[in-house]
Structure 1
């Protein structure tokens, strides 16, 4: 299993990576790993990695890990609705909301494929503001929305705030341009508009089979809301507009227009 093809699901925080990770987890032949680079079991090695060979060995060890956090065992992550029947694995898939700066090196690994998830920045910022574990209610959003200095704390692997969203989007665009056969950008808005169609096309690009189990999970996860800010069940018919100050909204709209990133607006 250590030499399986690897698919890395990368997206800035609050971009739907947890939901998308579970969509891939629903595929019977996928061995899924949750935020392994961020996990205590691997973070020191990931931070010290300097080459594709280093990261390739880490991916091999991630495939074999028995870490409860990465395997989502215990607590809410063991929700019965996220327990999927599995067959012999054909792909190792992980999801990360951090460490996107490693993608150029990861793409040097021949067995690695990547997906860059990009959500409307207004939605991502609004979601971040509403997530109490990610945005301290005592913080001043007007001072934090752009650089997220208090959350990122100068760490290169962190991508919170609008500047982090932009940095991730530009990395993803660069990877898609350099490696069109192995890296695909996934617009979150496209996924919510046509979950089955978009997932079928993405799975086909990556060589993952589209199963009835995945189709069933897509139906469940988009038709009911579990009320959990960090959950994966969202009634798409009840999506709310981003809740942001007018000044922040206008600043973001002006910047995405200047940087040719307006295509990611919902």
Structure 2
């Protein structure tokens, strides 16, 4: 299994990567790995890697790992996430960090990537409301742009607006440089037409859109589990992002200057 094709799902924090990861996990032919670069088992090696060959070997080891965190064993006992599996044909992982490695990862011929981009207003609002990601004692007005307290100067972290922009620009560059192996997924498109968007994306990546995935899409978009970090959201009850007016305007002005307004919902 270590030499199977690899699909990397990358998105800035609070961009729906956990949900999208489970959509891919629902495909019977995938071997899904949860945030392997961030996991203790691989983080030191990932941080030290400087070449495509080193990252390729790490991907092989991730495919064969027995790490409980990466395999999410406790979570996969949930009936709604206990997907039936076949012999895998592709390894899929999701990451909300380490997007700066994509130019090197794309040098690996068996690697394909998806860059998930959510409306920055929604991503910022979701970050602010996530207690494990945004300390309620922090001043959002001082943190929303650079997320200095959360990112801590670490290159692999992508919290805050400027890092959202950095990720979006990396994804755009990868899509332009590798149009046959990298695809941008607009989160707003996915929530508007989950089945249609995933059918198209699976086709691009060589996966089949089956009944198990259709069932999971229907369930995960029609009920809310009340978990800030969960994957079940009733899309009919989506709330507008809640942000200070000055932050909202600053983001709108900047995405217009940077030609990134296409990602606004």
* TM-score bucket (shorter structure): over 0.9
The residue that corresponds to 1:46 in the other structure is 46
The residue that corresponds to 2:247 in the other structure is 248
Per-residue deviation, residues 226-262 of structure 1 (Å, max 9, x unmatched): 0000000000000000000000000000000000000
Per-residue deviation, residues 182-228 of structure 1 (Å, max 9, x unmatched): 00000000000000000000000000111100000000000000000
The residue that corresponds to 1:106 in the other structure is 105
Aligned-pair CA distance for 1:77? 5.3
Q: How many Å separate the matches in 2 of 1:69 and 1:82? A: 15
Alignment of 1:1-266 (within 5 A): 1-74=1-74, 76=75, 78-266=77-265
Aligned-pair CA distance for 1:73? 1.1
Q: How many Å separate the matches in 2 of 1:17 and 1:101? A: 17
Q: How many Å separate the matches in 2 of 1:157 and 1:193? A: 30
Q: Structure 1 segments of 4 or more deviating over 4 A?
A: none
What secondary structure is seen at the aligned counterpart in 1 of 2:7? strand
CA contact (8 A) 2:76 2:82 kept: no
Q: How many Å separate the matches in 2 of 1:66 and 1:81? A: 22
From the superposition, tell whether residues 244 and 10 of structure 1 become closer, same or farther in structure 2 (CA, over 3 Å). Answer: same
Paired residues in the alignment total 265
Q: TM-score normalised to the size of structure 1?
A: 0.99
Per-residue deviation, residues 33-54 of structure 1 (Å, max 9, x unmatched): 0000000000000000010000
Q: How many Å separate the matches in 1 of 2:50 and 2:165? A: 24
Q: TM-score normalised to the size of structure 2?
A: 0.99
Q: How many Å separate the matches in 2 of 1:137 and 1:168? A: 25
Q: How many Å separate the matches in 2 of 1:52 and 1:24? A: 24
Per-residue deviation, residues 113-142 of structure 1 (Å, max 9, x unmatched): 000000000000000000000000000000
Q: How many Å separate the matches in 2 of 1:41 and 1:77? A: 19
- For structure 1, the residue ranges without an aligned partner over 5 or more in a row are none
What secondary structure is seen at the aligned counterpart in 2 of 1:224? coil
What secondary structure is seen at the aligned counterpart in 2 of 1:69? helix
- For structure 2, the residue ranges without an aligned partner over 5 or more in a row are none
Q: How many Å separate the matches in 1 of 2:76 and 2:216? A: 16
